[in-house]
């Protein structure tokens, strides 16, 4: 007999409130729950085993054409007028493999390793500025955001003059609240990229954009210019927002900890406890798909995967809600699993470990300016971050 999961009162848009705690407690309502959102009832999968199954199952498609007619995409990642039909986030099967291969022109492990000196140099420049601060310094605005924004824009080849516009547009898209504000952010972000490619190509340095444009000129072409113009924003947005969240949270946890173990281990534990994107992007059931003996996801159902809850699996991690900087082993799905595993995972790890290690090397006596007071966090539908992190350098 098929039963329906419970309907849970869980507003997915929290603005200045933090959604993470609600998501980690959601398994208490059952392995799967339904939530009123986006024009109807969406399903959230929270049980760790089911999370992994859904992430790896291609029948839970990413393409919005599988969405029901009532579904309204409030994230702007599916079906916005700026988004190309073939986007790495919203594609499936052979098309997704094609796009993933093209994105790896700039994000392969070898290319990421080659960026290590640049990441280190930009980090040191930012820390020079941090060291000149008079009084407490906010590491979110001084380090966590500028580093990944500079790196992803430089990797793409975007001129430095447009970096602030990219940051402003991303802020509106992720945390703008009002639908019109989010739409204006998307229009500005996609519009700026398109103008550079179409009207000012000489301003674009050698990088992933020029690499992708080169494949549009092959015979036969491997991509179109329209596709390239739509792909770049989908790299800029998670390429700095998620990494900024990771850097901020790791710095906070280590500043609050009595001992500081290996930085790489602490970064992984931060990914487990504070995933920058606690929910994976939308999936849609392409058929009636059984999840358990008595729960079947109806065809067309919008599905969100609760990465935050899966990371706190009591069967794997003793005391899973506690941050343990030297925890071993550490298992998490913060970068996803299966075909849609994050293409930027290696770059995010490089940036976070470099930034945190360099900060504590430069300022070994740094301490929280407000010890004992948890930092303010906020969430949106998909994202989660610390808003400010005031620190006294020593």
Query: Is residue 225 situated within a structural domain?
Result: yes
Report the pLDDT value the prediction gives residue 372, as an integer from 0 to 100.
Answer: 87
Query: Is residue 306 situated within a structural domain?
Result: yes
Report the pLDDT value the prediction gives residue 78, as an integer from 0 to 100.
Answer: 58
Report the pLDDT value the prediction gives residue 345, as an integer from 0 to 100.
Answer: 96
Query: Is residue 2 situated within a structural domain?
Result: no
Instruction: Name the packing angle between helices 93-107 and 225-256 (round to 10°).
Output: 70
Report the pLDDT value the prediction gives residue 25, as an integer from 0 to 100.
Answer: 94
- Could you tell me which residues are beta bridge partners of residue 33? 44
Round to whole Å and give the CA distance between 38 and 13: 11
Structurally, the chain folds into a number of domains equal to 1
Note the maximum CA span of the chain: 66
Q: Are 75 and 381 in contact (CB under 8 A)?
A: yes
Q: CA torsion sign, 343 to 73 to 194 to 227?
A: positive
Report the pLDDT value the prediction gives residue 50, as an integer from 0 to 100.
Answer: 97
Beta strands in 255-383 (DSSP E): 283-285, 289-290, 296-297, 302-305, 367-368, 377-379
Check which CATH number belongs to the domain holding 304 and give it. Answer: 1.10.630.10
Query: Is residue 150 situated within a structural domain?
Result: yes
Round to whole Å and give the CA distance between 167 and 240: 9
The string of DSSP letters for 88-156 reads SSS--HHHHHHHHHHHHHHHSHHHHHHTHHHHHHHHHHHHHHHHT-SS-EEHIIIIITHHHHHHHHHHH
Q: Which residue has the tokens 């060291």?
A: 131
How is the chain split among helix, strand and coil, in percent rounded to 5? 50, 10, 40
Query: Is residue 1 situated within a structural domain?
Result: no
Report the pLDDT value the prediction gives residue 14, as an integer from 0 to 100.
Answer: 62
Query: Is residue 368 situated within a structural domain?
Result: yes
Q: Determine phi and psi for 42, rounding to 5 degrees.
A: -105, 155
- Could you tell me which residues are beta bridge partners of residue 220? none
Q: Is 339 helix (H, G, I), strand (E, B) or coil?
A: helix
The model carries a pTM of 0.94
Query: Is residue 90 situated within a structural domain?
Result: yes
List, in order, residues 6 or more apart from 253 with CB less than 8 Å away.
266, 269, 270, 273, 274, 323, 325
Full residue range of the structural domain in which residue 257 is found: 7-392
Round to whole Å and give the CA distance between 17 and 161: 33
List, in order, residues 6 or more apart from 214 with CB less than 8 Å away.
none
Query: Is residue 319 situated within a structural domain?
Result: yes
- Could you tell me which residues are beta bridge partners of residue 34? 7, 43
Q: 215-220 long-range CB contacts below 8 Å, 24 or more apart?
A: 215/102, 215/105
- Mean pLDDT per 10-residue interval, the chain, length 394 residues: 86 76 94 91 96 96 90 65 65 92 91 96 98 94 98 96 95 85 90 95 96 94 91 90 97 90 93 96 94 93 96 93 91 94 96 98 95 90 92 93
Q: Is 65 helix (H, G, I), strand (E, B) or coil?
A: helix
């Amino acid at each position: 007999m098929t039963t329906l999961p419970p309907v849970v009162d869980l507003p997915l848009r929290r603005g200045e409130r933090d959604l993470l705690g609600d998501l980690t407690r959601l398994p208490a309502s059952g392995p799967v729950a339904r939530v009123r959102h986006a024009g109807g009832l969406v399903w959230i999968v929270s049980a760790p085993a089911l999370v992994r199954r859904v992430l790896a199952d291609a029948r839970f498609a990413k393409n919005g054409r599988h969405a029901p007619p009532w579904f309204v995409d409030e994230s702007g990642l599916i079906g916005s007028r700026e988004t190309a039909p073939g986007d790495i986030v919203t594609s499936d099967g052979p098309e997704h493999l094609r796009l993933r291969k093209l994105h790896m022109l700039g994000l392969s492990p070898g290319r990421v390793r080659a960026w290590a000196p640049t990441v280190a140099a930009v980090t040191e420049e930012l820390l020079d500025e941090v060291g000149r601060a008079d009084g407490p310094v906010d590491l979110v605005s001084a380090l966590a955001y500028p580093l990944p924004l500079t790196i992803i824009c430089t990797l793409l080849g975007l001129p430095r003059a447009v970096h602030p516009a990219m940051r402003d547009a991303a802020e509106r898209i992720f945390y703008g609240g009002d639908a019109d504000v989010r739409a204006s952010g998307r229009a500005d972000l996609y519009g700026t990229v398109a103008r550079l490619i179409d009207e000012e190509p000489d301003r674009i340095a050698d990088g992933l954009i020029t690499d992708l444009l080169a494949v549009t000129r092959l015979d036969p072409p491997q991509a179109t210019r329209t596709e390239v113009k739509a792909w770049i924003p989908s790299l800029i947005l998670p390429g700095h927002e998620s990494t900024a969240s990771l850097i901020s949270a790791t710095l906070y946890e280590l500043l609050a900890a009595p001992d500081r173990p290996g930085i790489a281990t602490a970064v992984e534990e931060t990914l487990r406890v504070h995933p920058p994107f606690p929910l994976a992007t939308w999936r849609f059931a392409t058929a009636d798909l059984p999840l358990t003996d008595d729960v079947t996801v109806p065809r067309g159902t919008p599905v969100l995967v609760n990465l935050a809850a899966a990371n706190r699996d009591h069967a794997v991690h003793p005391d899973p809600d506690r941050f343990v900087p030297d925890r071993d082993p550490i298992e998490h799905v913060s970068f996803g699993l299966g075909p849609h595993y994050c293409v930027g995972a290696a770059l995010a790890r490089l940036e976070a470990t470099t930034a945190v290690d360099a900060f504590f090397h430069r300022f070994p006596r740094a301490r929280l300016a407000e010890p004992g007071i948890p930092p303010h966090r906020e969430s949106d539908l998909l994202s989660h971050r610390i808003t400010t992190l005031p620190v006294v350098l020593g």
